[in-house]
A and B are shown apart, each in its own frame.
Chain A
Amino acid sequence: MTVSEIFDTMEYGAAPESTAEAQAWLDRHPDGFGHFIGGRFTAPQDLFDSKNPATGARLARVSGGSAADIQAAVQAARKAQPAWERRGGHGRAKVLYALARLLQKHSRLFAVLETLDNGKPIREARDIDIPLAQRHFYYHAGMAQLMDSELPDQRALGVCGQIIPWNFPLLMLAWKIAPALAMGNTVVLKPAEYTPLTALLFAQICREAGVPKGVVNIVTGAGDTGQHLVAAPVDKIAFTGSTAVGRAIRQATAGTGKALTLELGGKSPYIVFDDADLDSAVEGLVDAIWFNQGQVCCAGSRLLVHEPVAKDFHARLRARMDKLRVGDPLDKNTDVGAIVDPVQLASITAKLAANTAGTTHVSAAPLPQGGCFYPPTLIENLNPADPLMQEEIFGPVLVSTTFRTPAEAVQLANNTRYGLAATVWSENINLALDIAPKLAAGIVWVNATNLMDAAAGFGGVRESGFGREGGWDGLRAYTKDRAPQRALKPTPLPAPQTDAPVIAGGIDRTCKLYIGGKQTRPDGGHSAPVFAKAGGLLGHVPVAGRKDVRAAVEAASAASGWARSTGHLRAQILYYLAENMEQRRDTLARNLDAMRGGKTGAREVDASIRRLFTYAAWADKFEGRVHGVPLRGIAIGLKEPVGIIGAICPDEAPLLGLVSCMAPAVAMGNRIVLAASQSHPLIVADLIQLLETSDIPAGVVNILTGPHEDLANTMSGHMEIDAIWSFGSSPALPRIVEHGAASNIKRSWVNHGLARNWEGPMGEGRAFLNAATETKTVWVPYGE
């Protein structure tokens, strides 16, 4: 076209980014890429293609990692780890700083390579992915520097296996590697099969940055390589990807003692109230669902619009969609690039083909010929019962419905198995700040969307996974307590002596379950005898079964108002419980001694009273944090209760152990279902009397007695329990609990067969408070 013709049409024309440098880098590896293990690239073998999804052209050939490759990489990481940790915070900070600098120096090469391999628009790779990855290394260089002074009780986990997805290849690598290295871990990272190239380029700059051999290992491959890594002798698995694979990893690692964090899928709500700046909310959707072709775990994919503005808003939205430019990812004017792979394109296409509900609007933007492209799509007037309102599509497809009231907006928003992110648009600060805490999500954006930063925690609740990446919270995923740990010996059940009389004498004592504030008999109608250390019959406790767990969870569910109570009130209630326990001190001590023998009962009661005081103290002091994000606005890390917690209490400290689980959960606003000590359960009879006279609302604390393994099995599989803790001494418990937790991807905290000194500092404090809370990051940009 001539200049004068363009003067009339005012078209943008092509604005392609040059691929010369990226191509030259690829051309230097004509035989394909090996793995990066122990600071060297292995010989390429078992090659597969990494393709450009915009054209289908092969970019490079990459090695498929075998079990032996994984083994070699884990060995290299294991060998390198002690020296890397001993290098100290400053020593590691210097290396992380060098990585950040090198990412910056090669930023355009990384960006172009990312766009070639993934299909994302060059603008996004250039302006979002690569700068955020750099920022992550800078930020964590600082965390390495501060670790010695700020986290003196923490140390590295060891070797971390990390499996990352294809949607943000380099950024997810940064999210995984930067905190792990900062805290003194070494890593074996498997990039996604579709997008391994920037990880391989990163391996090269690791050498330039002076990363010691074996500290970073990259093994490429498909799902089977990932399985090998999950099965390998690593200390931790960090996974970002689909909920289905995350669930399988949860099951595969159950009971192995490997730490686990999962960053999974989402169907994040995007709520528009009638007082919102509608044009800005429409533009926000471009960043929510048409960013990275909608292949974003936290994509605002479920639009909920207030009825008074629904018609107007959708009209504006359709008009905006029609102006999106779909095409060559390397063109600087492209808004929506290529879907990562034909397999993903087929998945999106199939989901849409199966849908008959709602009204579909497809963007008027022309699609390129060939390549993996899908048009921006909106499906209006869907209902929660329609599959596409529930299923993650992971493509540029937005679904929408309307709501009448703020309460209904929350109800619809939370009607999902996922809980990653949520967006709220309103100019009313009262409304926005009221809604944000009510949303089941790890991240809430107010009048913005998809804001991310290294300083702010990212991660979800429900089936979106657990663990946070970024900020101080993110470091917990890569550290453990420095205190030495010893094995926990199973506590034997006191054996009966057939001719032993009942010790107590007098009137028979009745111990029941405590459910919903009432003493109830077990549904199964069975009781079990409890014997003293000396062998005499002490009494009977109910044998709780599946239905009793169900009843306890229902009672806990009904007590949801506890989450909204004030910390001050919860403190008062815990103090009062301690006060009452003090009154019953001698009885409790005597009964403990009768069960266990010895004379430690009084000490345990005193420790329990102190523990109640500790958490009464914490109830209004475990505070959130305002993150230092580069934004005019605030990003707040709110501490919220987890919800309903199931706890298998320790056998060895029947009163103190139960109180140590109950009190932090209650203090932080959770409801809890406790399975009392299996070996010495009778103490609950006294405790229940205390609880009955306390001000703890019905359903907040529920106590069951019975076989730990059975109760753990039911609790870990219960979909309404949000987290499960296991401190029982049965060796089978960790596996039962972690495997069962895969059901709804609930958080789990198990002892892995290690003992905990319940009287000492390990028996209380931040570890328990962290387990009893979720961090929700609420972003509130402001400005007038």
Chain B
Amino acid sequence: MHVQKIRELVKLVHEFDIGEIQVKSWWGKKVTIKKNGSLRVDKRPVSAPNTAPVVLEPEQPSVAPESKPVPPPEKVREEDEKLIKINSPMVGTYYSSPAPDADPYINEGDKISPGKVLCIIEAMKLMNEIEAEISGRIEKILVENSQPVEYNQPLFLVKPD
């Protein structure tokens, strides 16, 4: 969430003497602001929003000083720091191929370039094609076909060109 948005929420809490305000974005990110307390950015995804979500751009999550970072999976931590992670932009189901009996969009070792379709994430009955924005080589695929994935969960490790 943008810092500006958080400032607006803090102002709202003070102006209207609100004890606590919690905002969930469509993407599953949650921000809680308590009066006389600390700001907490909870990056755990919710399965799906069940309340009116606040309209937010799908920006990179900000990390507030008090926020507790989600530890990356063990495999990711061990990887070369030069590798770039491609994360899931939403909660959903990961599909490696367009159809159950079709070849996967990508395999480990494949070269990718901007516009290359990497996978499908099905969410809320929408089939979302995820395209690469970078050029490089797929070093590791971190998820299995048909696996549920969470918001911001690493899907691929890419060695950039």
A binds B: no
Interface residues of A (CB under 8 A from B): none
